[in-house]
């Protein structure tokens, strides 16, 4: 084993073998999953990014709506801001924007966000205390990548004003996707996905970070391409350095099956592949 105990609750880890030859480490206490490429290569692509521009624009709009449904902030801080596209949405709606990103993907940042945003070219843990006091700190699919997710949440909480809120989206290790698709589950295609939270482990991590009023939801509209991409990987296994969504037929399939996917998720919420953490810094 790579680790003796769970990074979240210190519970005992055991091997979890999934269809397709991958082995993950599963906590016997909170169900948290750890992944190493040596034990779970899962036909991973060469790079972290495996999206597609049209699907990304759709997902951006839906993610912004999701964040605004729970908060109407005057100031925001994004953990892992990437191109700054989501920050730009907040900026255009009148919020002051800030963020931290060590530039993992080497992306160019929206020029307006770069000009007026308070951007930090580092991990959130390296942002100086008192440098930011935001109404909302959020991260979109970052907790599955970082070295220490509880520490990331702790530092995110420090950047909030008293009473401010955090929101994080992350793949759901307790969704039905891993059971149905095994190693072909699309969330395993990203080689930098080193962990998968359960609702329980995400709640425990938020509690350890000192957050309160913690809720973990399963949004229906996030990562709508997951099932189609997973099915392609399952029925047509192949080496895909750019990822399954680099194929036009896979993208078309993802778009065409979206109504069916959403209907299935409405009936069976555990089919939803994402967890949404909503919590608050105490006053």
- Choice between 104 and 117, residue whose per-residue pLDDT is larger: 117
Segment 167-196 mean pLDDT? 97
| 3-class SS shares of the chain: helix, strand, coil, % to 5 | 35, 25, 40
Segment 99-108 mean pLDDT? 76
Task: List the domain boundaries for the chain.
Answer: 43-280
Task: Return the ∠ at Cα 111 (arms to 109 and 117), rounded to 5°.
Answer: 80
Q: Write the DSSP string, 178-236.
A: HHHHGGG-GGGSSTT--EEB-HHHHHHHHHHTT-EEEEEE--TTSSTTHHHHHHHHHHS
- Choice between 121 and 213, residue whose per-residue pLDDT is larger: 213
Query: Which pTM does this prediction carry?
Result: 0.94
| pLDDT number for residue 219 | 98
Chain mean position to CA 37: 18
Q: Which CATH code is given to the segment(s) 43-280?
A: 3.40.50.150
pLDDT > 90 fraction of the chain, expressed in percent and rounded: 88
CA gap 121, 187 in Å, rounded: 26
| pLDDT number for residue 112 | 96
Tracing tokens 């040596």 back to the chain, one arrives at 38
List, in sequence order, every residue forming a beta bridge with 26; answer none if it has no partner: 14, 33
CA gap 221, 250 in Å, rounded: 19
CA gap 18, 24 in Å, rounded: 8
Those residues whose C-beta lies under 8 Å from the C-beta of residue 61, and which sit 6 or more positions away, are none
Segment 84-112 mean pLDDT? 89
Q: How confident is the model at residue 105 (pLDDT cuts 50, 70, 90)?
A: low
Strands (E), the chain: 13-18, 22-27, 33-34, 75-79, 96-100, 118-120, 134-140, 160-171, 195-196, 212-217, 274-280
Segment 76-89 mean pLDDT? 96
List, for residues 17-71, the tens digit of each pLDDT value.
999 999 999 999 999 999 999 999 999 999 887 777 888 888 999 999 999 998 8
Token pair listed for 198: 């359960």
């Amino acid at each position: 084993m790579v680790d003796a105990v769970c990074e979240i609750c210190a519970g005992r880890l055991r091997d979890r073998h999934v269809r397709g030859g991958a082995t993950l480490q599963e906590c016997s206490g909170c169900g948290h999953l750890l992944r190493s490429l040596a034990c779970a290569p899962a036909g991973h692509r060469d790079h972290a990014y495996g999206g597609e521009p049209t699907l990304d624009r759709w997902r951006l709009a839906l993610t912004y709506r999701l964040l605004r449904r729970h908060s109407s902030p005057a100031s925001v801080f994004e953990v892992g801001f990437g191109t700054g596209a989501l920050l730009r949405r907040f900026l255009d709606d009148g919020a002051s924007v800030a963020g931290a990103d060590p530039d993992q993907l080497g992306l160019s940042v929206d020029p307006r966000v770069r000009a007026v945003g308070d951007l930090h070219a580092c991990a959130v843990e390296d942002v100086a205390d008192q440098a930011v006091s935001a109404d909302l700190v959020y991260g979109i699919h970052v907790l599955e990548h970082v070295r220490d997710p509880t520490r990331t949440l702790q530092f995110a909480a420090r950047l909030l004003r008293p009473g401010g809120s955090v929101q994080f989206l992350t793949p759901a290790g307790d969704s039905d996707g891993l059971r149905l698709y095994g190693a072909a589950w699309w969330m395993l295609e990203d080689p930098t996905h080193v962990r998968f939270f359960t609702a329980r482990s995400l709640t425990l991590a938020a509690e350890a970070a000192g957050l309160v009023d913690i809720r973990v939801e399963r949004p229906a509209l996030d990562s709508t391409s997951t099932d189609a991409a997973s099915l392609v990987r399952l029925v047509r296994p192949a080496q895909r350095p750019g990822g399954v969504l680099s194929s036009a037929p896979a993208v078309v399939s993802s778009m065409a099956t979206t109504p069916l996917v959403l209907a299935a998720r409405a009936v069976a919420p555990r089919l939803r592949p994402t967890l949404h953490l909503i919590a608050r810094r105490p006053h």
